Structure 1
């Protein structure tokens, strides 16, 4: 998928890459075992999924996947392809809001960072 992203993924990636958006580092097609997520900011604990036509038939799978990722401390937000293609500013506004609402990891007593 990294070599041939969907048009919606490519459009969003152009806005997110290279710390261009909210000074956050996003990666694409990131492995968060056992899944590969579309976009992730590990520092902000935020995952962004772009759902194409195939997702309409897999609600149960997506719900289990989201539940697992949230159990790791991530906040998962989803957008449909038409949302990204037709309203990128609205999508970016919702991502910015999610970044503001996602709590930062707290330092652990041992001096590291909590997940």
Structure 2
């Protein structure tokens, strides 16, 4: 991890979106079944939105800009999965509604291999 990656991640944490903040409130401090999540973490050559290192689970939130960068997102997901992480993607719209289905999907993925 380079110092540029760390600085970029720090900037993203300081300027989180409303939906990132909403999900972070549900995940931080081991609030979701004791799972330790970190946000805006450099991983490989990328900065992922949320990661649970213990479960090797990455959570990515997709806003409107992801419609324009779909191919890049697919390549990024493939690279992260090739390194042994599972990747869950949620749209901003999913997070603006009822958060419970999103949290249930995260739990299902986290404990899938236990």
Which structure has more helix as a fraction of its residues? 2
Question: After the TM superposition, which residues 1-115 of structure 1 pair with which residues of structure 2 at under 5 Å, given as runs?
Answer: 1-101=12-112, 103=113
Helix, strand or coil for the counterpart of 2:22?
helix
**Superposed structure 1 runs of 4+ greater than 4 Å apart:** none
Q: How many residues align?
A: 103
Give the gaps of 5 or more residues in structure 2. Answer: 1-11
TM-score for the superposition, normalised by structure 2: 0.87
Give the gaps of 5 or more residues in structure 1. Answer: 105-115
Larger Rg: 1
TM-score for the superposition, normalised by structure 1: 0.87
Helix, strand or coil for the counterpart of 1:28?
strand
